[in-house]
A = this chain, B = another copy of it.
Amino acid sequence: MNAKATAPSAPERTGAAGADRKAPKADLSRDQILSAAAKLFRDQGYSGTTLRQIAAAAQMKAGSIYYHFSSKDQILDEVLDAGIARNFAAVREAVAACPAEATAEERILAAIAAHMRTLLSSSEFTAVDIRIFGQLPPEIRLRHQSKRSEYARYWDGLFRAAIESGEFRKDIKIAPLRQFVLGALNWTVEWFDPDTQSIDELIDRCTKLIMSGVKSA
């Protein structure tokens, strides 16, 4: 929630005593910038977004951004980090919240719901990754590959369990399955419209399709 949690290069200011007394103005600005940047990156891509646009959306002037970040690149880094981190955290929490005796399928249902809910509601950050990652310069992509892989492996674990338990078909290969499922889910950000559709209903429809396909019994 606090973007600084994942920001490694914030100007030193942690010092001080326990309770964060001042909730300093800087943190607020930082968050505004990140949030503005996330929205703009998501809608216009990285190259298509201007520092001036970000600044304007964050209610400041372009030069001021450099007090908080050292480059446009760094903003992107933090936005991407925040994106995966939130998604991952939400999914992990949802799975952890399942009762100990939950089946693999139930855990996957929880994971799907959490993934979609994060993606489609608090979207700025989570949607950026999905939308623009493929078009980023390779070096930037590399910097975030490990976290993405971690997330992928987490899902692989969920699916493996379901296959080994016999809940899912044995002839399914895990990697393509994960790509297929996450792909279908991720794609919803391209068309889901919160004003006319219900997230819960969408989640419901998607899980049903994933689980049982389209064919009538």
Contacts and interface: CB of A to CB of B under 8 A. Distances in A.
B183 A135 contact: no
Given A46-B45, A184-B180, A212 B215 contact: yes
Contacts of A183: 183-184, 186-188, 190-191
Interface stretch (A83-91, A93-101, A168-176): A168-176
A196 to B, nearest CB: 11
Secondary structure call for the A interface:
helix
Interface in A144-170: 162, 166-170
Given A43-B135, A183-B186, A209-B213, 20 more contacts: A45-B46, A45-B132, A46-B48, A47-B47, A48-B137, A105-B215, A134-B190, A162-B214, A167-B215, A168-B216, A169-B215, A169-B216, A172-B214, A179-B188, A180-B209, A183-B183, A183-B187, A183-B190, A209-B210, A210-B214
A182 B212 CA distance: 17
A178 to B, nearest CB: 10
